[in-house]
Amino acid sequence: LAKTTQPISMDSYEGQEVNITCSHNNIATNDYITWYQQFPSQGPRFIIQGYKTKVTNEVASLFIPADRKSSTLSLPRVSLSDTAVYYCLVGDIRDSGTYKYIFGTGTRLKVLA
Amino acid sequence: DVKVTQSSRYLVKRTGEKVFLECVQDMDHENMFWYRQDPGLGLRLIYFSYDVKMKEKGDIPEGYSVSREKKERFSLILESASTNQTSMYLCASRRPGQGRGTEAFFGQGTRLTVV
């Protein structure tokens, strides 16, 4: 059973770079790593996804080491509006071959002025 | 613009009532999911459906059932609502598989209070 472990919470100041690491020791060969962001009273929304090495988009970067047992979400120069819960997610293939899509407890990021 | 729509934003029901939470997506996704979210517990998967009329239990299916008669609609049913089912319920849909274009899209959530 694929499982992720993240820090429960982090604080940062505006303008700083924030790195959130997720541990996924049992990641399967075909699994991708996906990160979501959730603001209060809203559903999560997709941030970034990767399989190996480094992926970058307009909002974040994702670093994945060669063994893929962890990944790090990097948010450059955070602002107050980046205060949210961030979830790391890897695949969970059931015996039926279906894909269960399990979220962990997430990391609560608080950005301070 | 892709959309997952949940029928109610806020709902108050009495203990013992049968409750229906509806979710509709317009992306022709095969996979649909129901989660509940409680403080400190993250999102927990209740049920998911990998195609029309196909369903599988998630991690916390007790007290719930689901219906997927059409591809775009996935309903969560609380057979006899109890106070411990007071929670935020989130519906999601996604294309099957992994990699690009398979991210999940979520609705805005239904905050259900059982009194």
Residues 6+ apart with CB under 8 A from A61: A48, A54, A55, A73, A74, A76
Residue A61: what pLDDT? Answer: 97
Judge contact between A101 and A89, C-beta under 8 A: yes
Preferred mutation among B98, B105, B106 to probe A, highest tally of A CBs within 10 A: B98
Region A97-112 average pLDDT: 83
C-alpha distance from residue B45 to each of A63, A100, B101 (Å):
27, 8, 21
The Cα B13–Cα A82 span in angstroms is: 34
- pLDDT tens figures, B18-45: 999 999 999 999 999 999 999 888 889 9
Which chain B residues are closer than 8 Å to A51 by Cβ?
99
Region A44-55 average pLDDT: 94
DSSP state, residue A58:
S
> Residue B76: how many CA atoms within 13 Å on its side-chain side?
32
Residue A95: what pLDDT? Answer: 52
What is chain B's alpha carbon radius of gyration, rounded to the nearest angstrom?
Answer: 13
B56 and A34 within 8 Å at the Cβ level: the answer is no
